Amino acid sequence: MSSDVLTAVAALAPQLTAAAAQADTDRRLSDDSVAALQETGVFRTATPKRYGGGEASLRTHLELASAVAAIDGGAGWLTSLWNGNSWCVALFPEQAQDDVWGADPDALISGTLKPSGPVRRVPGGYRLSGAWSYASGIWHASWVIASVVLEDGPAAFLVPREDYEIVDEWHMAGMRSTGSNRYVVDDAFVPDHRILKLGPVVGGANVTLSLAPSYRAAIVPSLVLMVAGPQLGLGRAALKHVVESAGQKGIAFTNFARQSDSVAFQLQIAEAATALDTADLHAYRAADALDGHATEAVYPAELLRARYRADAAVAARHVNRALETLMTAHGSSGLADASPLQRIWRDASVAARHGMLIPQVNMEVYGAALLGAENTVSPFV
């Protein structure tokens, strides 16, 4: 499925590129862009096969998000987040999956795993209230995942569009077109079958032969890696633009009429390219390892899960280092509104600061695991 989808996505490059600046201004993808991407099947990547989905591997998640992000960063981010949320919904009871995809196999899911509340137990489920942010792609979603803390630990609730309101407050320097707004739920009923207890899943309860291999992967490092996927494409897009411009663009206040003739510039390009290679190597190493564990229905040890989280952070950090080098090498014209580089740079800068990708956090978790020290940072490993 993925090769066909990648081919179809590549064919959309002119349309998505032409729409990118307006989507940035509007702070949301256009309906036409979303519909065109849906037609390729890219948003069904993680959906179970019984709903026409791809049950894709984690590596495929990264490849598709990277490919879309190389065309438009916001669209690539939404590819990753919508597919990541679909992957999570595939862990819910089948009745909940039928609620989401039974009538609409193309239904998109937004949401966030940061908890809010309150919740109140009632017969058959819970009454839920609260506000959650940032919910990427919520303008086009028909369901959200709302995280709460119950008496026995964290849980994810599935909430349909009629039970939440969107607060339009996504005014950011980058990833503007993702429309990652806040949503509010006011005393909505959530039945028991639309509730997923996160503690057991974080502990590996999904690593069972009763699920398709795609859904057996360790949840925390898998979701962290998915968030890193768009970064890979953004870095490659920036490198391509700078390299293609180098033969026609000079270096101000020097004798170089072409940047490509300068050894100093060549060194900068090599530095950026190898940083992007490093990002790919870390991200895809982790994805392949997690896919291997999932195929074998093995829940990886904490040390490995911590390493995969670190891999994602290292990948994102190297992409951003490459972008800083490329922006400097290309020159100040890359920051002009007319240049695609400035949007790539803004999008990548915001994406790299997602809570799941903070290098200090992920590296501290990994360092503690390497030393056999107690993990006091986060229970989500």
Query: Could you say which of 1.20.140.10, 3.40.50.2300, 2.40.128.50, 2.40.50.140 is the CATH number of the domain covering 217-371?
Result: 1.20.140.10
Give me the helices (H) in 27-160, please: 31-40, 58-69, 73-89, 94-101
pLDDT tens-place string over residues 248-289 = 999 999 999 999 999 999 999 999 999 999 999 999 999 999
Determine if the pTM surpasses 0.75. Answer: yes
Going by DSSP bridges, is the β-strand pair 153-160/195-197 parallel, antiparallel, or unpaired?
antiparallel
Tell me the HSE value of 186 on the side-chain side, using a 13 A CA sphere: 3
pLDDT tens-place string over residues 334-354 = 999 999 999 999 999 999 999
Q: Tell me, what's the pLDDT at 1?
A: 55
Query: Could you say which of 2.40.30.20, 2.40.110.10, 3.90.550.10, 3.50.50.60 is the CATH number of the domain covering 2-202?
Result: 2.40.110.10
Amino acid, res. 249: K
Say whether 166 sits in a helix, a strand or coil: strand
Positions in the chain whose pLDDT score sits under 70: 1
Domain ranges of the chain: 2-202, 217-371
